Amino acid sequence: MRFLIFIVLIFSTYSVIGQHCTTDQAHISKLESDPHFEENRKRIKSALSTAPYKEERGDTIIIPVVFHIYHNGDPLGVQENITDELVQAQIEQVNRDFRRNNSDSNMTPAAFMPLAADTEIEFCLATIDPNGEETTGILRNHINTLPDVDESDCWTTDYIDNNFVRPSIWNRDDYLNIYSILSIDDFSNGNCDFFASLGYAQFPGGDASTDAVVLSFYTVGSVTMPNPLQPQFLGRTATHEIGHWLDLEHPWGSSPGSCSLDDDIADTPTQLGAVFDCPTFPEYDNCTTTGDGLMYNNYMQYTNDDCMNMFSIGQRDRMRNLINVGRPTLLESLCEAEILSIESIIGMNATVVDTDISIDWTMDYSSDISHLQLEHGTSLDDLSAISYVELDDVRTSYSHIHDNPESGIHYYRIKIYYTNGTTSDTDVVSVVLHKKDLYIAINPVSDVLRLISSIDYDILTYRILNISGQEMVSGQDIDVLEIDVSSYNSGVYYLLITTNQGPHIFKWIKL
Ligand SMILES: [Zn+2]
């Protein structure tokens, strides 16, 4: 039923569906329902006003995205049950737009070219979910899994927030949540206007449980993969709504009809209200009457997808500052907390070196990794940490000496701690240590000759001879053999001992 209405709308009245974006309307409702939102907005705006933009070229901010698709049972790829490929194309389009790699950047009017910005903000589909499990970043659910949702209801922004977003949102501190749903409706005139809005977003500072971007499914697409149902949509609704999510307002501000209130961005010209379709340069209105006119090709406008092609430098600064001030945890978020990073530990080996075990490995450095813990055990199911390993981005070879463990089999594994709080384990390596019962602790010897015994010997006599057979020192009846040899000349020596279990001769070297 709903789709009958929809089809009629698409082919008859779609172009006059007025509310390009209902972020401002949703914002008014959210301010009413969230007593802290207004205060938070003021705090963020105050922080922004005193936070100078730091030019950090090359410091790209990458934000993980979880894309929630809600469908009503249509087969995959039909209508609202959009394909993964379309979602991936959408993410790519957003990246192109935010990085000013968009293929239509040459359509920016020459007058605005110097103001067009690479925001150095990117997005990726999340690879790790909030539980640390692997994910494609695309979640697909039937609306019949939502107990209070009915297609015949009026899907206002409140209804969508309460029934779709709240129950399913991933932590907004770590992810940008984007919803693709059947419809965003409007009930402000006392009747439900189906398909009234292309999308909406929540400005920073609002309720964490509704802090998302919501898209009508027929806006999802890209320049190279337009929406199959509505090919005039090239994915710019998402670009626009993410702009709101990062604190950008429409160029006419929140109160159309006034030239004194605008978006608080210096390089987007003052604008009275929304402009639609695609004006020709220059476009003037009552607020901007001369010069280069309105920046009608800005992503935050209501113009057509194939008419918008830039963010301004001022908008870039606002979004990047906002992330620092209002969404700082995103700076720690990771697109690819890479399970791949397991493979970044290469060639882990455990080898016996005298009485110790050396564990060596090579790393492909990954900034996703915070640190490592080397784990050890004498059985596979009883591994525990023996060493914290700090990483740096220069070294590739790491090793740890496990000092003088008992004879027997030893298992080692590296636990990888990612900067987003998740962990993963490498495969276990094992080595067998057969220690002699008696041995010289460190040979060659620099200062002190030390004999180690792994079983309880009584040392009855001892002698040290040089290579010529001359006695250097001798003694008897000791528990621990530790002899200062720092005055000896460099060279080869012998240690002869007799124990309650027989005689032993050790060759050793004085450094
Ligand atoms: Zn908007």
Per-residue pLDDT of 89-107, as tens digits, reads 999 999 999 999 999 999 9
pLDDT at 62: 87
| Percent of the chain whose pLDDT exceeds 90 | 53
Element housing 149 (H / E): none
- Compute, in angstroms, the gap from residue 501 CA to the centroid of ligand 1: 88
The model's pTM is 0.67
- Compute, in angstroms, the gap from residue 239 CA to the centroid of ligand 1: 10
- Cβ count near 120 (within 10 Å): 18
- The answer to whether the CB of 205 falls within 8 A of the CB of 173 is no
Amino acid at 258: S
Residue ranges of the chain whose pLDDT lies below 70: 1-19, 51-58, 334-344, 346, 364-367, 393-394, 420-422, 434-437, 454-457
Contact partners, residue 17, CB within 8 Å, separation at least 6: 9, 195, 196, 197
Catalytic residues, by residue number, are 241
Q: Is residue 339 classed as helix, strand or coil in its secondary structure?
A: helix
- Compute, in angstroms, the gap from residue 350 CA to the centroid of ligand 1: 58
The DSSP 8-state label assigned to residue 116 in this structure reads: B
pLDDT at 91: 96
- Compute, in angstroms, the gap from residue 86 CA to the centroid of ligand 1: 22
Distance CA 260, CA 2 (A): 42
Q: State the maximum Cα–Cα separation within the chain, in Å, rounded to a whole number.
A: 111
Domain boundaries, the chain: 2-44+60-103+117-248+313-332, 251-310, 341-433, 438-510
Which CATH number describes the domain made up of 438-510?
2.60.40.1930
- The answer to whether the CB of 494 falls within 8 A of the CB of 505 is yes
- The answer to whether the CB of 319 falls within 8 A of the CB of 247 is yes
Q: β-pairing, 138-142 with 61-71? A: parallel
Token reading at 429: 């390596």
pLDDT at 339: 37
pLDDT at 369: 75
Which CATH number describes the domain made up of 341-433?
2.60.40.2060
pLDDT at 479: 79
- Cβ count near 142 (within 10 Å): 12
CB neighbour class for 461 (10 Å; exposed up to 12, middle 13-18, buried from 19): middle
Alpha helices in 175-269, H assignment, sequence order: 236-245
Distance CA 327, CA 64 (A): 13
- Compute, in angstroms, the gap from residue 120 CA to the centroid of ligand 1: 21
- The answer to whether the CB of 421 falls within 8 A of the CB of 480 is no
- Compute, in angstroms, the gap from residue 430 CA to the centroid of ligand 1: 59
Distance CA 156, CA 195 (A): 10
Q: Is residue 19 classed as helix, strand or coil in its secondary structure?
A: strand
CATH assignment of 2-44+60-103+117-248+313-332, among 2.60.40.1220, 3.40.390.10, 3.30.70.1560, 3.75.10.10 = 3.40.390.10
Element housing 97 (H / E): helix 84-98
Distance CA 46, CA 23 (A): 22
Token reading at 69: 């698709």
| 341-433 shares its CATH topology with 438-510 | yes
Distance CA 398, CA 468 (A): 42
